[in-house]
């Protein structure tokens, strides 16, 4: 009885994988072992186009070198604000402004209290020192005149403290002298009462702070900032009156 030899499975390539599995047509056996789809013997079952795409290294572009952000400075070397472009206000300027506005608030409260007391005859002479000194008839023109004087002093006190606060913010070079004038104006509060006199202390402290070197440098920088005027180019080819139509006769 004759024995027949079983036929081997035909393959397109002569390479045989371990385990008796043939390599599929169109594959390449030169890939490195350990990559996806690669056997321990270095034979892969991926197409050649896929292998070439995996073997191409991805080159990352180098990062762009940049300089660190610069601190903006004016022409005089004084630091400027990134938001407004003006010279940066030091902390002492904010303190001076807070003291001046505190004096304004105290004066307003004192004025309201005085007005309430002056409206009644029983407390008129206690509302302000000038009323106690003059002892005018409550229904006379002298009492009316003193009321006007007290009102004017209160308005001047508010205006003086507010002017120092505003001109300190804008960096006016003469604001230091304005602070001394404001102290003199608020000194009139001794003609009124202690509530008005309480507004003098914040302005006196602010007037002293105005002479610090930091405030002087800030005012100098602000003066240089406002001295620079934008140059607007002048154009001589300007036609006035009716303009010619586009595509028509001029």
Residue 70's pLDDT is what?
Answer: 47
The mean per-residue pLDDT over the stretch 18-26 comes to 49
Q: CB under 8 Å, gap of 24 or more: what pairs does 67-76 form?
A: 74/221, 74/224, 74/225, 75/224, 75/228, 76/220, 76/221, 76/224
For residue 207, give the H/E element and its range.
helix 200-209
65-74, 89-98, 112-121, 193-202: range with lowest mean pLDDT: 65-74
pTM for the model: 0.61
Average pLDDT rounded to a whole number, residues 190-209: 94
Sign of the Cα pseudo-torsion (6, 11, 13, 16, in order): negative
Query: 77 — phi, psi (to 5°)?
Result: 90, 0
Helix axes 141-170, 175-186, angle to 10 degrees: 160
Say which residues have a Cβ less than 8 Å from residue 84's Cβ, sequence separation at least 6: none
CB 80 within 8 A of CB 88: yes
Q: Alpha carbon 97 to chain centroid distance?
A: 18
How high is the pLDDT of residue 84? 75
Residue 139's pLDDT is 83
Phi, psi of 210 (to 5 degrees): -65, -15
Closest CA to 161 of 222, 108, 217: 108
Largest CA distance in the chain: 157
Of 203, 212, 210, residue with least CA distance to 169: 210
Q: What confidence score (pLDDT) does residue 73 get?
A: 53
**15 and 23 in contact (C-beta within 8 Å)?**
yes
pLDDT over 80 (residue 188): yes
User: Please, which residues have CB within 8 angstroms of residue 22's CB and are 6 or more apart in sequence?
Assistant: 9, 11, 13, 15, 16
């Amino acid at each position: 009885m004759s024995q027949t030899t079983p036929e081997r499975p035909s393959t397109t390539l002569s390479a045989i994988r371990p385990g008796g599995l043939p390599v599929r047509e169109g594959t390449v056996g030169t890939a490195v072992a350990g990559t996806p789809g690669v056997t321990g013997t270095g034979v892969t079952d991926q197409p050649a186009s896929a292998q070439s795409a995996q073997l191409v290294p991805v080159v990352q572009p180098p990062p762009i070198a940049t300089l660190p952000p610069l601190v903006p400075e004016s022409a005089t070397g004084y630091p400027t604000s990134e938001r407004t472009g003006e010279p940066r206000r030091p902390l002492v300027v904010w303190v001076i402004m807070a003291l001046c506005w505190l004096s304004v608030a105290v004066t307003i409260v004192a004025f309201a209290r005085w007005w309430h007391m002056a409206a009644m005859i029983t407390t008129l002479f206690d509302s302000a020192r000038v009323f106690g000194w003059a002892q005018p008839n409550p229904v006379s023109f002298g009492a009316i005149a003193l009321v006007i004087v007290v009102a004017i002093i209160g308005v001047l006190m508010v205006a003086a403290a507010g002017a120092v606060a505003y001109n300190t913010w804008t960096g006016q070079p003469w604001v230091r002298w304005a602070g001394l004038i404001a102290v003199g104006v608020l000194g009139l509060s001794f003609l009124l009462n202690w509530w008005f006199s309480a507004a003098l202390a914040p302005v006196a402290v602010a007037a002293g702070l105005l002479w610090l070197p930091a405030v002087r440098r800030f005012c100098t920088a602000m003066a240089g900032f406002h001295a620079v005027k934008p140059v607007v180019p002048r154009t001589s080819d300007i036609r006035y009156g009716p303009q010619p139509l586009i595509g028509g006769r001029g």
